[in-house]
A and B are shown apart, each in its own frame.
Chain A
């Protein structure tokens, strides 16, 4: 039986990807950010996941305004890094796990979550930056990845509660997969940030810390936050944090916080990161 062994959440700022790609990781501005992920790389090495499910959002790369799926599950054998206007990121092709994807799609749809199935998709920094943060820059990613794209671009995105419950359904799906697989689920995006309009640059560390505390403890605070609270308190793009709730929902009610990191800023954004395991 497959099993979700940990939930790993982190921001996916494009400038972090640019810093890696342009060899700027040793600059003081960036060591402040990257040093916070040294321990995570060790933890992930020990966890040795067989598959990672990465909950992320596409940034007008694979999905234009022609079609905007709320939840889209990648079922492909591989996903090429996308050209986001500066050429594709020089990172490995992301290999998928089509069998587990198909199993999750079937199980979750029958569980009344109407996912969109995606058989071809290029992936942008929203997916590849978190992989770099927890796996570094290897020649090949250490395990197959199942992308789950969540719409947070067109208002309204799914609610935090809906995301949390989808996480629960994904866990149920994973646990009914016959093969013994160690699965890590990643929630990405956030934390507080606004990159649009005259209020751009908004950061709210108190909000972010309360959100992290809630994920590590009783998730009901984070789960019940309304869109207006995310957007007013954590910036228009802070709404991305609903994606972390998918990862949290795939865990037990009681979790153990294995690691946490928080710093401001990376470019326009507060960088947050948390690793959770189920309480024994």
Chain B
């Protein structure tokens, strides 16, 4: 049963499920992001990003994703949106601006989509629907 359930979650397109295994893998990313709640740490990070990241439990891929602001990649590697949003805040980005980046649209396009009622659920329930759309 557990196996089937996992497949069901995996089938939701464009969505990362943040469970305990992910949280373990991404502990360093989220641990780093928590430190950005303090203004002095935000300043230290900005002064030398690569150096600042050395104090956390991060592998090379995770470090790269943070430095390059690969917002989806960070989530894939165990980051959680409520934590990575603090990196967004450090960069002066709102939640909506970070969300726009993850969807590959501009802030204007994304805001317009939301004003028009958001992304509809039709066509966005299963990965097969996304493959059909792109193929």
A and B are interacting partners: yes
Residue numbers of A with Cβ under 8 A of B are 14-15, 18, 59-61, 64-65, 68, 83-86, 153-156, 192, 194-205, 207, 228, 231-233, 236-237, 264-265, 267-268, 270
* Nearest CB in chain B: distance from A53 CB, A: 23
* Given A207-B121, A228-B5, A268-B95, also A201-B110 (CB < 8 A): yes
Check B12 against A86 for contact (C-beta < 8 Å).
Answer: no
Total number of residue pairs linking A and B with CB closer than 8 Å: 149
> Given B31, B33, B37, B81, which contacts A83 in the complex, CB threshold below 8 Å?
B37
Top 3 nearest A-B pairs (CB, nearest first) are A203-B118, A199-B14, A198-B14
With beta carbons under 8 angstroms apart, the residue of B19, B30, B81, B95 that contacts A267 is B95
Give chain A nearest CB distance to B57 CB in angstroms. Answer: 11
Give me 22 A-to-B residue pairs in the complex whose CB atoms sit less than 8 angstroms apart, sorted by A's number: A15-B94, A59-B82, A60-B34, A65-B30, A65-B83, A85-B36, A153-B80, A195-B95, A195-B99, A196-B16, A197-B14, A197-B75, A198-B72, A199-B14, A200-B14, A200-B99, A201-B103, A201-B110, A203-B118, A232-B8, A265-B117, A267-B95
* A228 near B118: Cβ-Cβ < 8 Å: no
**A149 shortest CB reach to chain B, Å:** 13
A18–B97 CA distance with the chains assembled, in angstroms:
15
Interface of B is mostly: helix
Chain B residue at minimum C-beta to C-beta distance from A199: B14
With both chains docked as a complex, state the minimum distance between the C-beta of A151 and any C-beta of chain B, in angstroms.
11
- Within 8 Å by CB of A264, from B17, B100, B118, lies B118
Q: Which of A84, A196, A265 has the most CB of B within 10 A?
A: A196
The winner among B72, B98, B119, B120 for most chain A CB atoms within 10 A is B119
B: interface residue count bin: 35 or more
A199 to B30, CA, bound (A): 21
- B114 on the interface (CB 8 Å rule)? yes
CB of B17 within 8 A of CB of A236, answer yes
CB within 8 A of B19: which of A154, A197, A203, A205?
A: A154
Alpha-carbon distance between A67 and B118 when the two chains are bound, in angstroms:
34
The answer to whether B9 and A202 have CB atoms under 8 Å apart is: no
Contact A61 B102 (CB under 8 A): no
Q: Which residue of B lies closest to A87 (CB)?
A: B39
In the complex, residue of chain A having the shortest beta-carbon distance to the beta carbon of B84: A196
Provide the residues of chain A in CB contact with B12, threshold 8 Å: 199, 231-232, 236
Bound Cα distance A68, B17 (Å): 16
Please report the C-alpha to C-alpha distance between residue A232 and residue B7 in the assembled complex, in whole angstroms.
Answer: 13
Q: Looking at the assembled complex, report how far the CB atom of B129 sits from the nearest CB atom of chain A, in whole angstroms.
A: 11
Q: Is the Cβ of B37 less than 8 Å from the Cβ of A200?
A: no
Q: Which residues of A contact B15 (CB under 8 A)?
A: 194, 196-197, 199, 231, 236
Question: What is the distance, in angstroms, from A18's C-beta to the closest C-beta of chain B?
Answer: 8
Known: A64-B30, A154-B20. 9 other contacts (CB 8 A): A60-B80, A61-B37, A85-B90, A153-B80, A198-B72, A199-B12, A203-B119, A237-B81, A264-B118
Q: What CA separation (Å) do A268 and B119 show in the bound complex?
A: 10
A207–B19 alpha-carbon span in the complex (Å): 24
